[in-house]
A and B are shown apart, each in its own frame.
Chain A
Amino acid sequence: DTEVTQTPKHLVMGMTNKKSLKCEQHMGHRAMYWYKQKAKKPPELMFVYSYEKLSINESVPSRFSPECPNSSLLNLHLHALQPEDSALYLCASSQLTTQETQYFGPGTRLLVL
Chain B
Amino acid sequence: SQQGEEDPQALSIQEGENATMNCSYKTSINNLQWYRQNSGRGLVHLILIRSNEREKHSGRLRVTLDTSKKSSSLLITASRAADTASYFCATDWGGAQKLVFGQGTRLTINP
A interface residues with partner B (beta carbon < 8 Å): 4, 6, 31, 40-45, 48, 50, 55-56, 88, 90, 92, 96-107, 109
Contact = CB atoms under 8 A, between A and B. Distances in A.
A107 B92 CA distance: 22
B12 to A, nearest CB: 16
Contacts of A4: 42
Given A42-B2, A98-B31, A104-B43, A50 B102 contact: no
23 contacts: A31-B97, A41-B104, A42-B102, A43-B43, A45-B99, A48-B97, A48-B98, A55-B97, A56-B95, A56-B98, A88-B40, A97-B96, A97-B97, A98-B30, A98-B31, A99-B92, A100-B48, A101-B33, A101-B48, A104-B44, A106-B42, A107-B40, A107-B41
A104 B96 contact: no
B108 to A, nearest CB: 14
A99 to B, nearest CB: 6
B25 interface: no
Q: How large is the interface on B (under 10, 10 to 19, 20 to 34, 35 or more residues)?
A: 20 to 34
A109 B40 CA distance: 8
B30 A99 contact: yes
B103 interface: yes
A44 to B, nearest CB: 8
B45 interface: yes
Interface in B36-58: 40-45, 48
A81 to B, nearest CB: 20
A42 B76 CA distance: 21
Interface string B1-45: 010000000000000000000000000001101010000111111
B99 A107 contact: no
